[in-house]
Chains A and B, each alone.
Chain A
Amino acid sequence: MNHLIEKIKKEWFSNIRGDILSGMVVALALIPEAIAFSIIAGVDPMIGLYASFTMAVVISFTGGRPGMISAATGAMALLMGPLVRDYGLEYLFAATILTGIIQIIFGVLKIAKLMKFIPRAVMIGFVNALAILIFMAQVPHLINVTNITYLFVIITLLIVYILPRFLKVIPAPLIAIIILTVVAIFGNVNVATVGDLGKITQSLPSFFIPNVPFSFETLAIIFPYALALSIVGLLESLLTASIVDDATDTDSNKNREARGQGIANIVTGFFGGMAGCAMIGQSVINVKSGGRGRLSTFVAGVFLMFLIMVLGSLVVQIPMPVLVGIMIMVCIGTFDWSSFKYLVTAPKGDAIVMLVTVIIVVATDNLSIGVIAGVILSAVLFAAKISHVKMHKQETSQGYNYAVEGQLFFASVDSFVQAFDTTIKNKQISIDFTNSHVWDDSAVGAIDKIALKLKENQNTVTITGLDSASKKIVDKLAVFPKQNAKLSDH
């Protein structure tokens, strides 16, 4: 009990001042993004704002990584567009709840362990594809528009990149919004505004059950979306958690985070929000601003809702090009610019996996398909790489020595068997396994086959250099050491 109270104190109240201030900064930085991501998903700005409120508040209790920020995100918004377009909002809420359920199951099944099987090439491809998709979502706002729109985008970019050099306390995107909204209102400038794309309601979200038929058809519609959302949400959340772990030099409970994301998404779905996950950019802002504890995430959510309640009527007046500019900034920040160097310096296979991940995501418009394809491709490349053993044949005074290099298992036995000349007679043949490992019964079978064939031709066969695990499996399964054994014994 005491231990629990100590833990709560440490996770919530060990950095009160820093957490409250950073939480407020994050809330300010979240507003433009939550609105912009809603627009990407094709829903009213309130859906993203509600999601950011409930995600942040719930995850502050249920998450496994204190100080990390979860809200409505671009990665998730990009996935849900087609669902909203084809079936409507209620299905999005249902899919959000199902996403939460799947994430809880993943968390219970200890998904975090699986993360290490996702190659970094796929992760790099993931963030790059995410940046490209967010950028592509902005393109429609940049084609066939007035010159004043371009001017607004450019001014926004100038503000967000130059201002932080001098003023660090208030997030620059928010300053860009305030300045340009004021200019648009008082200058009577004719630009599209957030209000053109949706409504802002100045009320707290309320609990309701999504109005969808409870049928197998509904499940069949939302399940693919929910699965994709679960995978992408956990991928980004666990990547963000590792970054926050490193930056704060502390550890976190990744499986608890997965379950926590699930709970947060279930609550979000029931309160009319869109599925969300942890955000790298906002978590970086939080840590940089001094946020460390759960309180910072909680404050971010609550303060965001407070701002919307108070300032909601102004939010609809925000010019769209400002949000486009902020999204371009998010893309630039998300893209891994060292990837160009990576393509040259990384092993060819890794570079290909990274590129393929990006290409498939961009082609399918679906981050989860790209990630799965990337993982499968790298597994295949890995198997192809190790499914080949190098054989070094050397003539000795009384015969031949074959040195095996590589992993000997079911996929690599062919190149092993083919290396031997089984027509040799009356020689001493040794097979050296110093640089190899014998993995399975197919490998032992192959050794048997060769040894017995060679023995049939009156050769003597000796096997050397087996490591202890290989020796164990060979001793257990091999037939050739038994003198009368014949090939047909197999």
Chain B
Amino acid sequence: MYSTILLAIDGSKNSLRATTEAVKLASLQENAVITVVHVLDITQSKYDVLHAQGKADLELTRRKKFVSMEEYLQSNNIAYKLLFLHGEPGPTIVEYANQNSFDLLVIGSRGLNSLQEMVLGSVSHKVIKRVKCPVLVVK
């Protein structure tokens, strides 16, 4: 089955659902590892740096957002690591996924309507087109 799973999250409800599905899949396989990545774009960097008192505080505030998710993974006894990547979400996820080999990429879809999608762009859609491993999009 899937022993190395890449889970891309943005902290939204959909990405929580994606986490649930990733955990289900990881539970099927012994020694499965979930690599959780969260991409921070430069606008986020700007905001975070301004609101943090130094580097340690920056790291801490970012991790705090995902505490409940980490607890959820831990309570299911899933081996995982949480990484913060920097750049435009779509291309950064694709680059990371293609540089490291994963059995599966799990990603949430924000479920935008067509106007929102035209304006905001669908990250999951961009990722599916260009990533080389199998993808599970969770609605």
In whole Å, how far is B53's beta carbon from the nearest beta carbon of chain A? 5
Closest CB-CB distance, A54 to chain B, in whole Å?
26
Segment at the B interface, from A199-207, A239-247, A366-374: A239-247
Q: Say how far A109's CB is from chain B's closest CB, in angstroms.
A: 20
B88 to chain A, nearest CB (A): 8
Contacts of B45 in A (CB 8 A): 243, 246-247
Question: Do B42 and A247 touch across chains, with their CB atoms under 8 A apart?
Answer: yes
Q: Return the contact of A120 from the options B40, B51, B87, B119 (Cβ within 8 A).
A: B51
Q: Is there an interface contact between B50 and A248, defined as CB atoms closer than 8 Å?
A: no
Complex alpha-carbon distance, A342 and B86, angstroms: 25
Residues in A neighbouring B86, C-beta threshold 8 A: 246-249
Interface hub of A243, A246, A338 (most chain B Cβ within 10 A): A246
Stretch of A8-16, A21-29, A280-288, A460-468 at the chain-chain interface: A280-288
CA distance A280 to B54 in the complex (A): 18
- Of residues 32 to 54 in B, which have CB atoms within 8 Å of A's CB atoms? 40, 42-43, 45-54
- C-alpha spacing A336/B50, complex, angstroms: 9
Residue ID in chain A nearest B84 by CB atoms: A249
Within 8 A of A (CB), among B46-87: 46-54, 58, 85-87
A3 proximal to B (CB < 8 A): no
Instruction: Report if A120-B42 is in contact (Cβ < 8 Å); known contacts: A246-B86, A336-B47, A338-B47.
Output: no
Q: B51 touching A280 by the CB < 8 A rule?
A: no
CB-CB under 8 A from A280, the residues of chain B are 46
Q: Are B48 and A246 in contact (CB under 8 A)?
A: yes
Given the contacts A247-B86, A287-B42, A288-B42, A124 and B51 also touching, CB distance less than 8 Å:
yes
List the B side residues contacting A248 at CB < 8 Å: 86
A284 close to B52 (CB less than 8 A): no
- Cβ of A379 < 8 Å from any Cβ of B? no
Contact A246 B58 (CB under 8 A): yes
Q: Do B49 and A243 touch across chains, with their CB atoms under 8 A apart?
A: yes
Q: Mark A367-404, 1 if CB is under 8 A from B, else 0.
A: 00000000000000000000000000000000000000
Report the bound CA distance from A383 to B40 in whole Å: 36
Majority DSSP secondary structure for residues of B touching A? helix
Contacts of B51 in A (CB 8 A): 120, 124, 338, 342
Question: Residue A195 at the B interface, CB < 8 A?
Answer: no
Per DSSP, chain A at the interface is: helix
CA distance A127 to B45 in the complex (A): 15
Chain A 219-259 per-residue mask, 1 if CB under 8 angstroms from chain B, else 0: 00000000000000000000100110011110000000000
Of the residues B47, B53, B119, contact of A165 by C-beta under 8 Å: B119
Bound form: Cα–Cα A131–B107 in Å? 37
- Alpha-carbon distance A287/B40, docked complex (angstroms): 13
Q: Given A248-B86, A249-B86, does the pair A284, B50 have CB atoms closer than 8 Å?
A: no
Residues on the B chain within 8 Å of A336, using CB: 47, 50
Q: Is A119 an interface residue (CB 8 A)?
A: yes
Asked if A116 lies at the interface with its beta carbon under 8 angstroms from chain B, I say: yes
Q: Say which size band chain B's interface belongs to.
A: 10 to 19
Q: Does A184 contact B (CB under 8 A)?
A: no
- Which among A165, A242, A336, A342 has the greatest number of chain B C-beta atoms within 10 A? A242
Cα A323 to Cα B98 with chains together (Å): 43
Q: List the B side residues contacting A362 at CB < 8 Å.
A: none
Chain A interface bracket (under 10, 10 to 19, 20 to 34, 35 or more): 20 to 34
Chain A residue with Cβ nearest B42: A247
**B85-98: contact bitstring with A at CB < 8 Å (1 yes, 0 no)?**
11110000000000
Answer yes or no: A417 CB below 8 A from chain B CBs: no
Residues on A with C-beta less than 8 A from B40 are 246-247
CB pair B53 A119 closer than 8 Å: yes
Interface residue? A155 (CB, 8 A): no
- For chain A residues 400-427, which have a beta carbon within 8 Å of chain B? none
Determine whether A302 belongs to the interface, using a CB cutoff of 8 Å to chain B. Answer: no
Are A284 and B53 within 8 A (Cβ)? no
Interface centre among B43, B51, B119 (most CB of A within 10 A): B51
CB proximity to B under 8 Å, residues A245-300? 246-249, 280, 284, 287-288
Question: Contact: B49 with A284, CB < 8 Å?
Answer: no
Nearest neighbor of B119 in chain A, beta-carbon distance: A165
Q: Report the minimal beta-carbon distance from A250 to chain B, rounded to whole angstroms.
A: 10
For A247, A287, A338, A342, the residue with the greatest tally of chain B CB atoms inside 10 Å of its CB is A247
Query: Does A123 count as interface, using CB distance less than 8 angstroms?
Result: yes
The answer to whether A120 touches B58 (Cβ under 8 A) is no
Please measure, in the bound complex, the distance between the C-alpha atom of A154 and the C-alpha atom of B31, giving whole angstroms.
59
Question: CB distance A120 to B52 under 8 Å?
Answer: yes
By beta carbon, the residue of chain A nearest B47 is A338
Whether the Cβ atoms of B49 and A242 lie closer than 8 Å is: yes
Task: Across the interface, name the chain B residue whose C-beta is closest to A286.
Answer: B42
B50 touches A239 (CB 8 A): yes
- CB–CB B53/A116 < 8 A: yes
Q: Is the CB of B46 within 8 A of A120?
A: no
Q: Which residues of A contact B43 (CB under 8 A)?
A: 284
Which residue in chain B gives the minimum CB-CB distance to A251?
A: B55
User: How far is it, in angstroms, between the C-alpha of A338 and the C-alpha of B108 when the chains are bound?
Assistant: 26
Chain B's closest residue to A126 (CB) is B50
Chain B residues within 8 Å of A, Cβ to Cβ: 40, 42-43, 45-54, 58, 85-88, 119
Task: Identify the A interface with B (CB < 8 A).
Answer: 116, 119-120, 123-124, 127, 165, 239, 242-243, 246-249, 280, 284, 287-288, 336, 338, 342
**Mind listing 22 A-B residue pairs with CB under 8 Å?**
A119-B53, A120-B51, A120-B52, A120-B53, A123-B50, A124-B51, A127-B50, A239-B50, A242-B49, A243-B42, A243-B50, A246-B45, A246-B48, A246-B49, A246-B86, A247-B40, A247-B42, A247-B86, A248-B86, A280-B46, A336-B50, A338-B51
